[in-house]
Amino acid sequence: MTSNEMRHPGVPFPPPILFVLGMAGGWALATAVPLPLSAILPSAARVLLGWASLLLGFLLLTWAMLTFARARTAIFPNRPARAVVTHGPFRYSRNPMYVALGAVMAGVGLVVDNGWIVGLIPVVLLALTVLVIRREERYLDGAFGDEYAAYRTRVRRWL
Show the CA angle centred on residue 55, arms to residues 118 and 132, nearest 5°.
55
Considering the domain boundaries, does residue 118 fall inside one? yes
Residue 11 lies in a domain: no
The pLDDT of residue 2: 47
Dihedral, CA of residue 88, residue 120, residue 53 and residue 135, to nearest 10: 10
Domain membership flag for residue 1: no
* pLDDT on residue 4: 46
How confident is the model at residue 76, as a pLDDT? 87
Q: Is 119 within a domain? A: yes
Number of structural domains, the chain? Answer: 1
Residues of the chain falling short of pLDDT 50: 1-4
* pLDDT for the residue 20: 98
pLDDT value at position 8? 85
What are the pLDDT digits (tens) for 43-80?
999 999 999 999 999 999 999 999 999 999 989 888 89
19 domain-assigned = no
Alpha helices in the chain (DSSP H): 16-32, 43-70, 96-111, 115-119, 121-128, 134-154
Residue 47 lies in a domain: yes
Question: Would residue 37 count as lying in a domain?
Answer: no
Domain of residue 123 covers: 43-154
Is 16 a domain residue? no
State how far Cα 36 lies from the chain centre: 24
Residues 6+ apart with CB under 8 A from 138: 3, 6, 9
Q: Please give the model's pTM, rounded to 2 decimal places.
A: 0.94
